[in-house]
A and B are shown apart, each in its own frame.
Chain A
Amino acid sequence: MEGRTTYMNSKRIVAALAGVAAIGLLVAGCANTPSTGAPTKSSTLVHLPALTSISTPPNAVLPAGDGKGTCPATTTIGYVGAETGANASLGINIYNGVQLAIDQHNKANPGCQVKFLKYDTEGDPAKATGPVTQVVNTKAIVGVIGLPFSGESKATGNIFEDKGLVHITPSATNPGLTKNGWTTFFRALGNDSVQGPAAAKFAVDQLKASKVYLVQDDSDYGIGLGATTTAGLGKALVGTDKVNTGQKDFSTVVSKIISSKADAVYYSGYYAEAAPFDQQLVAKGFKGAFIAPDGVKDDQFIKQAGDASSNAYFTCPCIPGELIPSFESAYKTAFKAEPGTYSIEGYDAATVLLSGIDKGNSDRAKLLAFVKSYDADGLSKHYKWDATGELATPDVYGYEVDNGKIVPIGVIGK
């Protein structure tokens, strides 16, 4: 008896499921149109005019050089950093810039064909030591571009130092990195003790925020930048929270922010977490500005957060490479994409190494000495490092999301 009933029950369940599926298909078939419309700034947010051009130094050193460079056939430049991983886009932007510089160099200098090798760290400090050890033990590599992120840079700086291998980071901004006594580490941009205060000034002065809520992740980058921004915000700071790398649910942080009545949020971390965070903020009715640093400034952020990203502004010690016409068009031809965050820094950093190699500095010691005494313009800025590996006068740029695109709005924090 019971067997019969269950049999009938299961028959009924099957019928019900089939019915539901049929309805689903029907409804799906007739009514769906993809939602369109690019995100636009709501009226409550400040809309800043876009920057349309930047000046480039007239005598900038270019990868092509004078075309007379000579070097051993084995000469190799390495890239170590994220090729995959949650924040891979930030790495891809960089090595494409490096690749472009090397391609232009090799085309113009038949006597010096530099090879390019890439090593993946997934942007993870725990995974970075392996590839870096491999790089320092590869004799042909005379100089390295990387590592892009602060945590992995901190974890591996000693390995480069031990082997005397020069490495220029195009994007790691943690201020502590140049305080380790390393002589092989160079930073091709401003650090977060410049970016943090600039971001705070940008939020308060330009975006007119009076209550800023600061959320930082658990990376060296997020913590360092969180601290300098906190200091810069002073009384405008209404609350802080800390989140984890890989966190996807931010509901509690969101309710704390909403009950604090903050009119702006500063997120100190990377886009992998910033995108779901911003989306959940907006879904819960947050109307203020979402301000985030260089680690979030990527098209992936907009792609993942959708319309919610229209409330976003970015701060970045990076130069808008897309406004340098020669660079933009060459990059676009090579990679079928606009240059991204730090593409130009990657390109410039590679140019420094290439011009050294062209001048006969084709072993590690000579190339390191060359970079130490380097004093010339690149496409994005002037490159001359102090004894710790910092540049003298780095600029921080502001950006905003407008019509689904990241648009530069000029130098901030001055």
Chain B
Amino acid sequence: MIPLLLHLAVSQPHLDDSWITFDIPSFLQNFWPATFDGLTFGAIYGLIALGYTLVYGVLNLINFAHSEVFIVGCYGVVFVLTTLGFGPNPPTISIAAVIGDMLLAILVGMLASAVTAFLLERFAYRPLRHRNAPRLAFLITAIGASFAIQYTIFLIRGPNPEPSVTMFVPEPVFEVFGTTIDSQQITIVVAALILMIAADTFIRRSRVGRGIRAVAQDPDTATLMGVNRERIIVITFVIGGLLAGAAALFYVMKIPSGVQYNGGFVLGIKAFAAAVLGGIGNVRGALLGGLLLGLIGNYGQLLLGASQWTDVIAFVVLVLVLLVRPTGILGTSIARSRA
């Protein structure tokens, strides 16, 4: 049935006013570039998704302001780089200097995001927790905090995106399946994977990580066993912020002119979707969900012949997966992951 449908669709002339057309030749032709680009963007989704997943794990709260935690990190990155003399054009300084500057930028970005996440927890969520507010109150607060941060940035920086910052010109490094992989893709994917493995190891192996898992599993018992719940919650927010700040550098690297007061919104929604797809509350699920969402969106837009389909396809697949596995691909909960 499906092959027949595909065949019918292909044999028809490509009309602009037809509703949906399948562009199989283009899909086959561009399959590998789309795969590698999808993985690159997926790695960024995954890093941001970790922030959603960790906070959900310990608080059962969807922190909708996490997209703003991320965009503050982007501003941190852009400010550092523009101060250091980076602009829309590739820098003329040595590679070592560029790497040094990027390390500085990522540190500042991580710091900016972590501080934002910390303040968010301190002033938006903690007072609610102390008053035993219902869950809905947290959700509305999260959305409110998201807008508050967005429009604070708007007031300070205005509506225009920040001038673009180019860190380096992507150079082809090697070829796979006739597709060149460039230095930018490698940098982003490798660095993001290292960070995610580090986060995963931290949660599985360290004392604090054990605390996080304990609180996720049963907050009351964890408290009785001597875990400082408040401290664990703060640390969780800060870890999410650090990862979002790191993602900020990679995002700016990939999309040099994407830093804008509301620039985190769509990315945040996608990262949240990635977390749900992989299984919200599950650290490895966030990574898997991110990569899958990046791939699915790219394949979808190739197959249907227009990049307008990216988000449609990504979310249709999300809904389909949730219909079959309501807890996401890897299932929920940091709590159940064993060290």
Contacts and interface: CB of A to CB of B under 8 A. Distances in A.
B260 A86 contact: yes
Contact of B94 (A3, A31, A227): A31
Contacts of A227: 16
B187 interface: no
B97 A252 contact: no
A249 interface: yes
A44 interface: no
A218 interface: yes
Given A34-B87, A306-B87, A84 B170 contact: no
B174 to A, nearest CB: 16
B159 interface: yes
B228 interface: no
B99 to A, nearest CB: 7
A20 B30 CA distance: 39
B104 interface: yes
Contacts of B87: 34-35, 306
Contacts of B104: 21, 24-25, 28
B257 A28 contact: no
A246 B266 contact: yes
Interface in A247-269: 247-253, 255-256, 259
Nearest to B82: A34
A86 B159 contact: yes
A9 interface: yes
Given A23-B100, A227-B16, A306-B89, A252 B161 contact: no
A86 B164 CA distance: 14
A272 interface: yes
A89 B160 CA distance: 9
Nearest to B305: A241
A243 B308 contact: yes
Contact of B97 (A28, A241, A246, A300): A28
Interface in A210-268: 218, 227, 230, 239-244, 246-253, 255-256, 259
B338 interface: no
B164 A255 contact: no
Contact of A32 (B34, B97, B256, B308): B97
Interface string B308-339: 10110000000000000000000000000000
Interface stretch (A275-283, A319-327, A330-338): A275-283
Given A27-B99, A240-B16, A35 B306 contact: no
Contacts of A272: 161
Contacts of A9: 206
B100 A24 contact: yes
A6 B97 CA distance: 33
Contact of B37 (A243, A244, A255): A255
Contacts of B307: 241-244, 247, 250, 252-253
A307 interface: yes
A227 to B, nearest CB: 7
A230 B97 CA distance: 46
B18 to A, nearest CB: 13
A34 B103 contact: no
B158 A275 contact: no
A255 B254 CA distance: 15
B159 A307 contact: no
Nearest to B158: A84
A86 to B, nearest CB: 7
B186 interface: no
Contact of B301 (A30, A31, A252): A252
A303 interface: yes
Interface in B149-186: 158-161, 163-164, 166, 169-170, 184
A2 interface: yes
A17 B107 contact: yes
Interface in A192-207: none
A354 B97 CA distance: 58
Nearest to B110: A17
Contact of B103 (A21, A85, A279, A307): A21
A17 B103 CA distance: 10
A304 interface: yes
Nearest to A24: B104
A255 B84 contact: no
Given A27-B100, A32-B84, A6 B208 contact: yes
A31 B159 contact: no
B159 A85 contact: yes
A305 interface: yes
Contacts of B160: 86, 88-89, 300
Contacts of B170: 283-284
B207 interface: yes
A35 B97 CA distance: 13
A343 to B, nearest CB: 18
A231 to B, nearest CB: 10
Nearest to A273: B257
A276 B16 contact: no
Contacts of A242: 306-308
A247 B266 CA distance: 9
Contact of B302 (A31, A32, A85, A256): A256
A257 to B, nearest CB: 10
B257 A255 contact: no
A49 interface: no
B137 interface: no
Nearest to B162: A304
A122 B260 CA distance: 15
Given A21-B104, A242-B306, A255-B33, A27 B97 contact: yes
Given A31-B96, A85-B159, 13 more contacts: A20-B103, A24-B100, A28-B101, A34-B85, A35-B86, A242-B308, A248-B258, A252-B301, A259-B33, A276-B164, A283-B169, A305-B257, A307-B90
6 contacts: A6-B206, A26-B100, A122-B159, A252-B34, A259-B29, A300-B160
Interface of B: 16, 26, 29-30, 33-34, 37, 40-41, 84-94, 96-97, 99-104, 107, 158-161, 163-164, 166, 169-170, 184, 206-208, 254-258, 260, 263, 266, 298, 301-302, 305-308, 310-311
- Top 10 A-B pairs ranked by shortest CB distance? A306-B88, A27-B100, A24-B104, A255-B33, A31-B97, A34-B85, A251-B37, A242-B306, A84-B159, A24-B103
